[in-house]
Amino acid sequence: MADKARGPRREPVAHPPSDDPAADIGVEARIAAGVLLNAALERRNGLDEAMSFTEVAALPAPDRAFARAVAMAALRRLGEIDQILDRRLQKSPPEAVRTLLRVSLAQTLVLGTPAFAAVSTAVKLAERGVKTRPYKALVNAVLRGVEREGPGLTTARSNLPDWIAARWAQAYGEAMLEAIALAVREEPPTDLSLKPGVDAGALAAALDGRVLPGGTVRTGARGDVAGWPGYETGDWWVQDAAAAVPVRLLAPKAGEAVLDLCAAPGGKTLQIAASGAAVTALDRSETRLKRVRQNLERTGLSAEVVVANGEEWQDDRTFDAVLLDAPCTATGTLRRNPEVLRATRPADVAKLADVQHRLLDAAALRVKPGGRLVYCVCSLEREEGETQIIAFLRRNPAFRTVAADPAAVGAAAEAVTPEGWLRILPSQWPEHGGLDGFFAARLERR
């Protein structure tokens, strides 16, 4: 099957309003879902950017939330949805029609929306668009056919672009590939990192959650986290359990000087600050650092925040410990950000690997003798993880690997590589509900 999720998308939004407002209840939210879906398929961060588009931002909050949920459901199951459609379409319809069908099937097959409601709305949307109106009968026939006969068999692997599936099969094996593909399907829970002294058990009980190895609190609760207990008092911040591992691996201590290179959005900065270390949070993006400052203020933690390029920072200080959470393809975040699978291209891996190479060398210069360097990426690509460290150690014989203790850092035992690094996969911790994919290695200057 051709990968129809790639390439530019025309947004199906230029529709005149209906003359009968009562007939359009729920329609605008479905239009918004199509806008979000197409924006996510067009470019990295497209979905988040599209949340500010008029078609989305003008909706009431519940409708915005619904539109985003539909778009995310479609992204997680895009390959399967297209498998279902391709069996029922003799030839590919215009992209606006495919968007209507994708949005409708995401509602009925993933979110459990009653078929009669989703189909009726899809037909109304087809009627409203000049380009989709000639396909009104087709939309109705395809969706009614799925409702009547069922979707048929689909494969989780189809939700992965072919080139990514081939890479991961080679890197991790077919069985692990299938497990990762299954992880893409599921909406992940929310993970919270806590300030020292906060009662994890009490917070987990209040949120109907549980405490994971390492101390992260995981909850299936949904909605605006600003209303959750402990938010206003700054007791915690949202951070995937895997994303909390690298700072535990770094093990900052009170009184140490620690550099968080490429610090935004700031979860790791907060972890370091909570340890009592004097942390310098550096990032090239002033806009992204605003969020770091806001969370520092909310939690009552402190850090020196610096806007600078990590490779060119004009400061001669060295540090007891340096954390480099390098820019990467972010393919390990596929559970929370399934759009990265469609936005990432093969050329991106090599391009970002070059950036990581330079940043690693810059980070090494900041480590005091006897000091520690942790390198991490939320990527499943070996060129961005294992290969980077192998090449770095060849270039920098003054550094050596310090083997990770998975129990001490809150990682699965199977995450430890033969070299002592951590390769965390989304399929690990199935008993806890999985986690993001990460690579992390702790190095020490001799």
* Phi/psi of residue 113, nearest 5 degrees: -65, 135
134's CB contacts (< 8 A; 6+ apart) are none
Concerning whether 376 is annotated as a catalytic residue, the answer is: no
Spatial CB neighbours of 83, under 8 Å, sequence gap ≥ 6? 1, 152, 154, 155, 158
Give CA–CA dist 416/332, Å, rounded: 16
Answer whether 293's CB lies under 8 Å from 224's CB.
no
Q: Which helix (H) or strand (E) holds 191?
A: strand 190-194
Q: Parallel, antiparallel, or unpaired: how do β-strands 399-401 and 304-307 relate? A: unpaired
Return the axis-axis angle of helices 61-76 and 78-88, rounded to nearest 10°: 70
Q: Which residue has the tokens 């009184």?
A: 255
- Which residue bears the tokens 């480099």? 324
Residue type, 157: R
**Contact yes or no for 352/302 (Cβ under 8 A):** no
Supply 368's token pair: 């005091």
Per-residue tokens: 216: 């992260």
DSSP helix/strand/coil, 396: coil
Among the options 262, 328, 376, 378, which is catalytic? Answer: 378
Q: What is the full DSSP assignment across 193-255?
A: EE-TT--HHHHHHHTT-EEPTTS-EEE---S-GGGSTTTTTT-EEE--TTTTHHHHHH---TT
Q: 192 near 270, Cβ under 8 Å?
A: no
Beta pairing, strands 257-261 & 217-219: unpaired
List phi, psi (to 5°) of 18.
-75, 155
In 10 A of CB 354, how many CB atoms? 10
DSSP-H helix ranges across 43-189 = 46-50, 54-57, 61-76, 78-88, 95-105, 115-128, 136-149, 162-172, 174-185
Residues annotated as part of the active site: 378
